[in-house]
Amino acid sequence: MSLRLTLTKLFMRLFVKTRLRRLTDPAPARHELERAANRLFRAPPFAWYREATLAGGHGAQRALWIETRPATRPALANKIILYFHGGGFIAGSPETHRKLLARLAWMTGLRICAPDYRKAPEDPFPAAVEDCVAAYKHLIQKGYRPENIILGGDSAGGGLVFSLLAEIDGVLPFPRAVFAFSPIVDLRFTSPSFDENAKNDPLLPSDRRDLVTDHYLAGASAQNVRASPVLHRYKSTPPPAFFQFSTTEILRDESLRMAEVLRAAGGQVTLDEWPDAPHVWVILDGLLPEARQALRQAAEFITRQFHDETRAES
């Protein structure tokens, strides 16, 4: 473990986790994440961002298109990553994750579409799921073939990846592959790691599950597979999946349990388990050496899906 990671975990434990434990209103969490994204997160050179609108059954949805070096090394025209940002279903945006995604675009040579799906409490469940499904359909309508789309997400966004798969199973073709950084896939909060890692997790307070149940579910049942996609049983063989998570975070078992569901349905799963790292540490690329190493693992999984058609870079 690098000294930077050790100090980062200490800061998270003393300040961020304490702040989240006392949180009552989502607004401060949104502002603090936006401020951290602007001041702390790092992007590669020649990052390019373009706002766009995605059509959907519930009205227009804003999205951010991201790529790097478009003039000298244009992204592959017919292949794309559709990425759903994290933030506990109440915070985050394409902008808070744009620097992480720019680095991923740099590493893979792929263009990334990051939808600004609706968030709670203004728009509770299932609004976010509906928006993510609409974004996937929009890309297909625009000419992207499902086998040329890779789905990704972190935390709540990672959960939405699997909510989308549950929604389209038997209805639409699956994407080429999926990847998730520490997804949350069971809003019943039955994973043993919520209790086992309550003290070990330097960032997420296990005792604040109400932030999700009260604001996002807002009375809806966590038994619904759209809310807890770990409950879904696949009719078709799911696409290859890559999970990256830490052994000491409260969401550890979410990845392990979702992996079991996919494997039971015949899916291929890659588990990238890291010891003693904070939740979604890849977002600190440029600050932590472990973040760059971990992000490179995800990029290599993505490039393997397309063989020689993409390129992995550091």
Contact 68, 104 (CB under 8 A): no
Q: Which of 67, 167, 249, 254 is catalytic?
A: 249
Structure tokens at 290: 């472990």
> Is 232 an active-site residue?
no
Q: Which two tokens stand for residue 81?
A: 């990553």
Residue 249 is a catalytic residue: yes
Give, in order, the Cα–Cα distances in Å from 76 to each of 26, 79, 80, 111, 148.
38, 6, 8, 7, 10
Do you find a cis peptide bond into 28, omega within 30 degrees of 0? no
The answer to whether residues 52 and 82 touch, using CB atoms and an 8 Å cutoff, is no
Q: Give the tokens for residue 262.
A: 């996919």
Of residues 85, 97, 215, 279, which has the active-site annotation?
279
Give the separation between CA 284 and CA 76, rounded to whole angstroms: 26
Q: Is 115 helix (H, G, I), strand (E, B) or coil?
A: strand
Q: Which residue has the tokens 């073939």?
A: 145
**Residues 93, 155, 193, 255: which is the catalytic one?**
155
Q: Which helix (H) or strand (E) holds 193?
A: helix 193-196
**Cα within 13 Å of Cα(22), Cβ side:** 6
Question: Cα separation of 312 and 20, whole Å?
Answer: 36
Query: Of 219, 213, 281, whose CA–CA distance to 244 is shortest?
Result: 281
Point out the residues that are catalytic.
Answer: 155, 249, 279
